[in-house]
């Protein structure tokens, strides 16, 4: 038909490829969605932010091949973040399962330094994230934004770890997000010992990142794993995130990092026309 319109040729320009991936899935756990965008060319920061806003998931990961490594950036719908565990796990899943990159050790250049990842046994994927060091804080630091907390810790420069008594207390938390927004922390993790078939359970709130409550948060393990080690002496643990979607994570603590492991699955893939 285009010949009859005297069009000399038909060209198709496809944009960047993308995949919607659910990270840290498990039995009765849907995991946390992340969209992984494979960049064919560099893009401006405001373009990346606009794409993340349009996609609307908690994190969009932009990955691009740089020599033998990969450049990796993470955006919420409103801001770029320094570290994101579930979107890194999603990126590793895409490289292995969707793009067929030979398995082995993967290295990602990020705002938090070079992170690594690898396939593990039984379909698990593992990523190395920088561990946090905990410093006790007075409960008044929370300004009454979370009711029922009995311990509070500074967890790295931008994180807070709170401890509650048990799983029922965790699930029934009363959180004032407006007041929590005023607390000088980007990620607030609440943890308890025990949970459904796991060692511990968590919930994570990040109003300063535009996320009232995050479905599953791999970077929370940077603080939760050292807390578990101090509490039990064990460097390994399993964690359930008690969000509406639910998630399952496994962690192993090392001197400088935490290996966070979980399963991931692709929900759909396509092309980004941007």
Nearest Cα to 159, choosing from 177, 171, 141?
Answer: 141
264 contact partners, CB below 8 Å, separation of at least 6 = 21, 22, 23, 24, 25, 31, 89, 90, 92, 93, 125
- The two three-digit tokens of residue 263, written as one number: 């399963």
Residues 54, 56, 59, 65, CA torsion sign: negative
Centroid of chain to Cα 207: 15
Name residue 269's beta-bridge partners. Answer: 19
* Residue among 54, 59, 80, 135 flagged as catalytic: 59
* Cα dihedral 96→97→99→105 (10° resolution): 0
- Number of C-beta neighbours around residue 123 at 10 A: 10
Distance CA 43, CA 198 (A): 41
Active site (annotated) includes residue 59: yes
Only one residue has tokens 């992340």, namely 34
Residues taking part in catalysis: 59
């Amino acid at each position: 038909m285009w010949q009859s319109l005297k069009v000399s040729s038909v060209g198709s320009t496809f944009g960047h490829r993308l995949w919607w991936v659910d990270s840290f899935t498990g039995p009765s756990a849907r995991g946390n969605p992340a969209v992984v965008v494979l960049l064919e060319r560099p893009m401006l920061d405001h373009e990346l932010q606009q794409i993340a806003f349009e996609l609307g998931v908690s994190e969009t990961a932009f990955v691009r091949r740089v020599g033998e490594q990969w450049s990796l950036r993470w955006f919420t719908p409103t801001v770029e973040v320094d570290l994101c565990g579930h979107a890194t796990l999603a990126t590793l899943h895409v490289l292995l399962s969707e793009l067929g990159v030979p398995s082995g050790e993967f290295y990602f250049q990020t705002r938090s330094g070079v992170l690594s990842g690898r396939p593990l046994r039984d379909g698990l994927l593992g990523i190395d994230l920088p561990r946090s060091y905990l410093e006790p804080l007075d409960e008044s630091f929370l300004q009454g934004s979370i009711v029922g907390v009995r311990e509070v810790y500074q967890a790295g420069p931008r994180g807070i770890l709170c401890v509650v008594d048990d799983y029922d207390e965790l699930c029934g938390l009363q959180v004032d997000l407006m007041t929590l927004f005023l607390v000088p922390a980007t990620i607030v993790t609440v943890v308890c010992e025990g949970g459904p078939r796991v060692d511990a359970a968590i919930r994570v709130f990040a109003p300063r990142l535009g996320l009232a409550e995050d479905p599953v948060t791999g970077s929370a393990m940077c603080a939760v794993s050292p807390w578990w080690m101090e509490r039990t002496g064990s460097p390994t643990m399993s964690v359930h995130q008690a969000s509406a979607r639910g998630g399952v994570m496994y962690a192993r603590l090392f001197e400088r990092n935490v290996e966070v492991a979980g399963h991931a699955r692709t929900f759909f893939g396509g092309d980004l026309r941007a």
